[in-house]
Structure 1
Amino acid sequence: MSLPDSFERLTVLFRKLPGVGAKTARRMAFFVLQQPVSYAEELAACLSGLKDRIFTCSRCGNITDREPCAVCSDLLRDRSTLCVVETVEDLISIEQAGVYSGLYHVLGGRVSPLDGEDLDEECLAGLVRRIGEDRIREVIIATNPRIEGDLTFHAIVDRLGETDVSVSRLAYGLPVGGSIEFADRTTLLASLESRVTVKRKE
């Protein structure tokens, strides 16, 4: 069955979104088609202005529509702690959890030799500059718990060797509510290595 070209084009564009297959893309296109014209106009205006109004914060790398971003300009945040994340998505996840109140530094990449990826030198230089200029006392490296995250972590630690700052990394291992019997070897090893001392021998 042949569908209108404009409908097919919209379906193709939706299929380019992460995690969207052919059927889901078609359902999304039908949804837009069934909405009032005002919905399609607002959606089109929002998409067309997205690139014009949203840019990267020059200080931390977060997405923003003002300079500096809302996080960097919030004077109530702990300005002595800097959390280094791989992507803006990671930053948003931590923010939505409401468990951290310091500043951020978005790497915008990772170290992945198999994919030919490496950290941007200017981003690392910016991190070192921020530590000095903002008088950061602790850098929390929040890279993902996988091989690429480990390589990225070590690359950052090596670069921060020239700075006088405390460096920590997020602990990882058994998830809250999980069961030991279902954990794989890597998770159990990470849990043991990240264990917390609750009482020391006197």
Structure 2
Amino acid sequence: MSSLYLLHKPYRMLSQFTDTEGRATLASVIDVPGVYAAGRLDYDSEGLLLLSDDGALIHRIAHPRHKQPKTYWVQLEGQVDDKALNALRAGITLKDGPTRPAKARLIAPPALAPREPAIDPKRHPSTSWLEITISEGRNRQVRRMTAHVGFPTLRLIRASIGPWQLGDLQPGEWRKETLHAPRQAQSTKRSGKPSASRHRKSS
């Protein structure tokens, strides 16, 4: 049996528990002892982050060999066209090599808590939203992909990792799931049920 914690990481927060530069860390939103993040989410990105105290489970979720698909909601500068979508779906070549084909589609603005600071409509009067799913984990990959096709990312939220969904968790909230499988043979399938309550550490 293993415990997995699903956290909605806020904007401008590190995916770690300590920082020597005084930036916000996970310690301000989750106080479960002995847990570590399975992978990371950039300081200026938001959304789903998985944590556990089970090293084997963390490895299976985070290691590139297991190719967990990750889905993001991305607010882009400008109105995305079919040419850009087709390029993302076919795979593009970045400085560190070609990407795998991505799933990409235009979506309506998702129901999200406002970001602070918000996107300035005077500086960015025209934006569009994209849902993109990738199975790689290169540094700032989604941002680099959208910039490459001519539409810089303004806001990025990770909506899912493999079978795990952000759901209705608000920034700073988390929930626990129990995975009923031997720790050494832990599958990345979500075999446990999420707890009934959500948690948010008081500031």
TM-score range, shorter chain: under 0.3
Richer in helix (by share): 1
TM score, norm. by length of structure 2: 0.21
Whichever of the two has the greater Rg, that structure is 1
Richer in strand (by share): 2
TM score, norm. by length of structure 1: 0.21
